[in-house]
Amino acid sequence: MTLSAIYAVAYNGFLVLGWSVVLWRSALSLLDYKENGLRTFYADVENSLKVSQTLAVLEIVHAALGLFSSGVFLTAFQVASRLFLLWGVTNLGGLPVQQHYGVVLMVLAWTITEIIRYSFYGLTVCNKLPYCLKWCRYSFFIVLYPVGVAGELLLIFKLMGMPKVTEMMSLRMPNKLNFAFDFYWFLWFVLLLYPIIFPQLYGHMFQQRRKKIGEQEKKTE
């Protein structure tokens, strides 16, 4: 096994472990729902979630160096959008956002998706990929993708209803930079991107599913 392959296995294996911790802590927190509701959910998963998701920045480097086959632009866009939702929406919004049920939808969708994805990549490098994991990789998104997007939208809407937060992130004129930025309207811009980008990415995943699984299922009939 080459050095790059060893690194790929280690990287993907570490993130499978990291996201598994997020899933485990999520499950423990939800088991205490009757007692605590969602008051402690985000706090329970926060550290492991931030580490696991923020490490995805390395995927941009991997794509740029050609270590993995992913495109640089698409990888950068996906990673940046996740980091914005994590740090620029959930973390920034504080308790009102972090205790919203949209966090549960987003975190669970992200977590299950990433455990499957990193397991898929790691085992593919090892040439040990079982068909069941391949099927999960190209099937679970049918439910998880819309659930995750629903959670993300709910959190953005919740943040938009917090004037102090949106005002805090805005830059008004006049200023030394001679530049104005309105965080509230930036959030509206982000929201408007969803109906444009989501159908394309969702449709792309269905195309990948037909390509990766559909042909193999036809051969077994």
Catalytic residues: 145, 152
Q: Which residues contact 25 (CB under 8 A, 6 or more apart)?
A: 44, 45, 48
- Distance, in Å, from the CA atom of 169 to the CA atom of 104, rounded to the nearest integer, reads 25
Confirm if 215 and 134 have CB atoms less than 8 A apart: no
Where are the alpha helices (H) located in the chain, listed in sequence order? 3-31, 33-36, 41-54, 57-65, 72-83, 92-93, 95-98, 101-125, 131-137, 141-160, 163-168, 183-209, 215-220
